[in-house]
Amino acid sequence: MQTVASDSGTKKGQDASFVRKAFASIASRYVLTNHVLSLGIDVIWRWRTGREVAACQPQQVVDLATGSGDLAAEIQRRCPDAAVLGVDFSQPMLMEARKRGLTQLVVGDGMNLPLQDACADVVTVAFGLRNMASWPDALREMSRILRPGGHLFVLDFSLPKSGLIRAGHLFYLRHVMPRVAGWLTGERAAYEYLCGTIEAFPSGEKMNAMICENGFEKSDAAALSFGIASLYHARKAG
Protein backbone atom coordinates (compact mmCIF):
# COMPACT_ATOMS: atom_id res chain seq x y z
CA MET A 1 0.00 0.00 0.00
CA GLN A 2 1.34 3.39 -0.97
CA THR A 3 0.70 6.73 0.64
CA VAL A 4 2.30 10.11 0.47
CA ALA A 5 0.16 11.81 3.07
CA SER A 6 2.06 14.11 5.37
CA ASP A 7 2.37 13.58 9.10
CA SER A 8 -0.30 16.19 9.72
CA GLY A 9 -2.63 14.62 7.18
CA THR A 10 -3.40 18.06 5.75
CA LYS A 11 -0.67 19.00 3.30
CA LYS A 12 -0.21 16.35 0.67
CA GLY A 13 -2.76 14.10 -0.93
CA GLN A 14 -2.10 10.92 -2.86
CA ASP A 15 0.09 9.51 -5.60
CA ALA A 16 -1.72 10.98 -8.61
CA SER A 17 -0.06 8.65 -11.13
CA PHE A 18 -1.10 5.55 -9.18
CA VAL A 19 -4.64 6.88 -8.71
CA ARG A 20 -4.99 7.58 -12.45
CA LYS A 21 -3.96 4.03 -13.32
CA ALA A 22 -6.14 2.58 -10.55
CA PHE A 23 -9.32 4.27 -11.73
CA ALA A 24 -8.64 3.41 -15.35
CA SER A 25 -8.34 -0.24 -14.39
CA ILE A 26 -11.59 -0.39 -12.40
CA ALA A 27 -13.76 2.00 -14.44
CA SER A 28 -16.13 -0.57 -15.92
CA ARG A 29 -16.89 -2.15 -12.51
CA TYR A 30 -16.64 0.97 -10.36
CA VAL A 31 -20.35 1.67 -9.84
CA LEU A 32 -21.29 -1.93 -9.08
CA THR A 33 -18.39 -2.28 -6.66
CA ASN A 34 -19.31 0.93 -4.83
CA HIS A 35 -22.89 -0.20 -4.34
CA VAL A 36 -21.83 -3.64 -3.09
CA LEU A 37 -19.17 -2.35 -0.71
CA SER A 38 -21.45 0.31 0.81
CA LEU A 39 -24.56 -1.91 0.80
CA GLY A 40 -26.20 0.76 -1.34
CA ILE A 41 -25.77 3.53 1.25
CA ASP A 42 -23.66 5.59 -1.16
CA VAL A 43 -26.86 6.22 -3.14
CA ILE A 44 -28.39 7.88 -0.06
CA TRP A 45 -25.27 10.02 0.47
CA ARG A 46 -25.44 11.33 -3.09
CA TRP A 47 -29.19 11.86 -2.77
CA ARG A 48 -28.62 14.08 0.26
CA THR A 49 -25.82 15.98 -1.47
CA GLY A 50 -28.01 16.57 -4.50
CA ARG A 51 -30.81 17.86 -2.28
CA GLU A 52 -28.50 20.39 -0.61
CA VAL A 53 -27.08 21.52 -3.94
CA ALA A 54 -30.61 22.06 -5.28
CA ALA A 55 -31.40 24.26 -2.27
CA CYS A 56 -28.72 26.69 -3.52
CA GLN A 57 -30.66 27.09 -6.81
CA PRO A 58 -27.52 27.05 -8.95
CA GLN A 59 -27.30 27.90 -12.63
CA GLN A 60 -23.75 26.57 -13.17
CA VAL A 61 -22.49 23.47 -11.34
CA VAL A 62 -19.05 21.90 -11.72
CA ASP A 63 -18.73 18.33 -10.40
CA LEU A 64 -15.03 17.54 -9.93
CA ALA A 65 -13.66 14.00 -9.97
CA THR A 66 -17.05 13.17 -11.44
CA GLY A 67 -15.95 9.61 -12.19
CA SER A 68 -18.88 7.57 -13.49
CA GLY A 69 -21.14 10.59 -13.09
CA ASP A 70 -23.37 9.38 -10.24
CA LEU A 71 -23.45 12.67 -8.36
CA ALA A 72 -23.58 14.81 -11.51
CA ALA A 73 -26.60 12.82 -12.72
CA GLU A 74 -28.34 13.26 -9.36
CA ILE A 75 -27.71 17.02 -9.42
CA GLN A 76 -28.93 17.29 -13.00
CA ARG A 77 -32.11 15.44 -12.06
CA ARG A 78 -32.77 17.83 -9.19
CA CYS A 79 -31.66 20.95 -11.07
CA PRO A 80 -33.00 20.45 -14.60
CA ASP A 81 -32.41 24.10 -15.57
CA ALA A 82 -28.80 24.16 -14.38
CA ALA A 83 -25.75 23.48 -16.54
CA VAL A 84 -23.88 20.62 -14.85
CA LEU A 85 -20.31 20.05 -16.01
CA GLY A 86 -18.45 16.89 -14.98
CA VAL A 87 -14.65 17.01 -14.80
CA ASP A 88 -12.33 14.05 -14.28
CA PHE A 89 -8.72 13.21 -15.14
CA SER A 90 -9.65 9.66 -16.17
CA GLN A 91 -10.99 9.28 -19.70
CA PRO A 92 -12.22 5.70 -19.04
CA MET A 93 -14.28 6.98 -16.09
CA LEU A 94 -15.81 9.72 -18.26
CA MET A 95 -16.80 7.06 -20.77
CA GLU A 96 -18.82 5.44 -17.99
CA ALA A 97 -20.39 8.82 -17.17
CA ARG A 98 -21.56 9.18 -20.77
CA LYS A 99 -23.55 5.97 -20.35
CA ARG A 100 -25.64 7.85 -17.76
CA GLY A 101 -26.66 10.38 -20.34
CA LEU A 102 -24.23 13.08 -19.23
CA THR A 103 -22.92 15.11 -22.15
CA GLN A 104 -21.09 18.05 -20.55
CA LEU A 105 -17.88 16.26 -19.61
CA VAL A 106 -14.29 17.49 -19.66
CA VAL A 107 -10.98 15.75 -19.03
CA GLY A 108 -9.18 17.84 -16.44
CA ASP A 109 -6.93 17.67 -13.39
CA GLY A 110 -8.42 19.04 -10.17
CA MET A 111 -5.07 20.68 -9.45
CA ASN A 112 -5.14 22.72 -12.67
CA LEU A 113 -8.68 22.97 -13.99
CA PRO A 114 -9.24 24.04 -17.62
CA LEU A 115 -11.95 26.46 -16.47
CA GLN A 116 -12.22 30.22 -16.14
CA ASP A 117 -12.19 32.08 -12.84
CA ALA A 118 -15.57 32.51 -11.11
CA CYS A 119 -17.45 30.34 -13.62
CA ALA A 120 -19.59 28.28 -11.20
CA ASP A 121 -22.26 28.86 -8.59
CA VAL A 122 -21.62 25.46 -7.00
CA VAL A 123 -18.65 23.10 -7.03
CA THR A 124 -19.06 19.52 -5.85
CA VAL A 125 -16.55 16.73 -5.32
CA ALA A 126 -17.59 13.28 -4.12
CA PHE A 127 -14.88 10.85 -3.01
CA GLY A 128 -12.35 12.75 -5.09
CA LEU A 129 -10.56 15.36 -2.98
CA ARG A 130 -9.02 12.55 -0.94
CA ASN A 131 -7.24 11.25 -4.04
CA MET A 132 -5.79 14.55 -5.23
CA ALA A 133 -2.08 15.28 -4.98
CA SER A 134 -2.46 18.26 -2.62
CA TRP A 135 -5.67 18.89 -0.71
CA PRO A 136 -5.00 22.59 0.01
CA ASP A 137 -3.99 23.29 -3.59
CA ALA A 138 -7.09 21.51 -4.87
CA LEU A 139 -9.32 23.53 -2.52
CA ARG A 140 -7.77 26.78 -3.70
CA GLU A 141 -8.44 25.75 -7.30
CA MET A 142 -12.07 25.05 -6.39
CA SER A 143 -12.30 28.48 -4.79
CA ARG A 144 -10.84 30.03 -7.95
CA ILE A 145 -13.59 28.72 -10.23
CA LEU A 146 -16.37 29.65 -7.79
CA ARG A 147 -18.13 32.98 -7.98
CA PRO A 148 -18.07 35.14 -4.82
CA GLY A 149 -20.64 33.72 -2.44
CA GLY A 150 -20.60 30.38 -4.28
CA HIS A 151 -20.97 27.02 -2.54
CA LEU A 152 -18.63 24.04 -2.21
CA PHE A 153 -19.84 20.55 -1.29
CA VAL A 154 -17.31 17.86 -0.41
CA LEU A 155 -18.60 14.32 0.14
CA ASP A 156 -16.02 11.79 1.28
CA PHE A 157 -15.27 8.94 3.62
CA SER A 158 -14.31 9.60 7.22
CA LEU A 159 -13.70 7.60 10.38
CA PRO A 160 -16.42 7.26 13.05
CA LYS A 161 -15.70 8.79 16.45
CA SER A 162 -17.32 6.00 18.44
CA GLY A 163 -14.66 3.52 19.54
CA LEU A 164 -16.59 0.32 18.76
CA ILE A 165 -17.94 1.53 15.42
CA ARG A 166 -14.54 2.97 14.51
CA ALA A 167 -12.77 -0.32 15.28
CA GLY A 168 -15.28 -2.30 13.25
CA HIS A 169 -15.03 0.09 10.34
CA LEU A 170 -11.23 -0.01 10.35
CA PHE A 171 -11.34 -3.81 10.27
CA TYR A 172 -13.70 -3.62 7.30
CA LEU A 173 -11.44 -1.15 5.47
CA ARG A 174 -8.25 -3.09 6.09
CA HIS A 175 -9.39 -6.68 5.68
CA VAL A 176 -12.83 -6.99 4.08
CA MET A 177 -13.23 -4.22 1.50
CA PRO A 178 -10.00 -4.90 -0.45
CA ARG A 179 -10.81 -8.62 -0.70
CA VAL A 180 -14.38 -8.11 -1.88
CA ALA A 181 -13.41 -5.31 -4.27
CA GLY A 182 -10.52 -7.40 -5.59
CA TRP A 183 -12.92 -10.25 -6.32
CA LEU A 184 -15.35 -7.92 -8.13
CA THR A 185 -12.78 -5.97 -10.16
CA GLY A 186 -9.66 -8.14 -10.27
CA GLU A 187 -7.73 -5.12 -8.95
CA ARG A 188 -7.25 -5.72 -5.24
CA ALA A 189 -4.09 -3.57 -5.07
CA ALA A 190 -6.05 -0.54 -6.27
CA TYR A 191 -8.56 -0.90 -3.46
CA GLU A 192 -5.90 -1.60 -0.84
CA TYR A 193 -4.43 1.75 -1.83
CA LEU A 194 -7.75 3.60 -1.92
CA CYS A 195 -8.90 2.14 1.40
CA GLY A 196 -5.62 3.18 2.97
CA THR A 197 -6.16 6.78 1.93
CA ILE A 198 -9.29 6.99 4.09
CA GLU A 199 -7.27 6.65 7.30
CA ALA A 200 -4.94 9.51 6.30
CA PHE A 201 -7.69 11.86 5.16
CA PRO A 202 -8.67 14.61 7.65
CA SER A 203 -12.30 14.79 8.70
CA GLY A 204 -14.67 16.78 10.90
CA GLU A 205 -13.19 19.95 12.36
CA LYS A 206 -9.79 19.28 10.80
CA MET A 207 -11.36 19.27 7.36
CA ASN A 208 -13.46 22.33 8.16
CA ALA A 209 -10.30 24.18 9.20
CA MET A 210 -8.42 23.16 6.07
CA ILE A 211 -11.29 24.31 3.85
CA CYS A 212 -11.44 27.69 5.60
CA GLU A 213 -7.68 28.14 5.27
CA ASN A 214 -7.86 27.73 1.50
CA GLY A 215 -10.37 30.12 0.04
CA PHE A 216 -13.58 29.74 2.02
CA GLU A 217 -15.11 31.74 4.85
CA LYS A 218 -17.23 29.07 6.49
CA SER A 219 -17.47 25.28 6.46
CA ASP A 220 -19.89 22.93 8.19
CA ALA A 221 -19.56 19.15 8.50
CA ALA A 222 -22.40 16.63 8.67
CA ALA A 223 -21.54 13.07 9.70
CA LEU A 224 -23.35 10.45 7.61
CA SER A 225 -24.10 6.84 8.58
CA PHE A 226 -22.44 6.98 12.02
CA GLY A 227 -19.52 8.93 10.59
CA ILE A 228 -18.27 6.53 7.91
CA ALA A 229 -18.80 9.42 5.49
CA SER A 230 -19.07 13.18 5.89
CA LEU A 231 -20.62 15.98 3.85
CA TYR A 232 -18.94 19.39 4.05
CA HIS A 233 -20.70 22.56 2.90
CA ALA A 234 -18.55 25.66 2.56
CA ARG A 235 -19.08 29.11 1.10
CA LYS A 236 -16.68 31.37 -0.72
CA ALA A 237 -16.36 34.89 0.66
CA GLY A 238 -18.29 37.61 -1.09
pTM: 0.86
How far is CA 187 from its chain centroid?
Answer: 20
Domains parsed from the chain with CATH numbers: 16-235 (3.40.50.150)
C-alpha torsion 230→235→236→238, nearest 10: -170
Q: What is the mean pLDDT of residues 10-31?
A: 57
CA distance 90 to 22: 10
Say what angle helices 188-200 and 16-26 make with each other, to 10 degrees. Answer: 130
pLDDT above 60: residue 28: no
Give residues with Cβ within 8 angstroms of 17, minimum separation 6: none
pLDDT above 80: residue 222: yes
The predicted pLDDT at position 16 comes to 62
CA distance 153 to 157: 13
Give residues with Cβ within 8 angstroms of 171, minimum separation 6: none
pLDDT above 90: residue 45: yes
Confidence at 74, pLDDT banded by 50, 70, 90: very high
Residues 88 and 110 sit within 8 Å (Cβ to Cβ): no
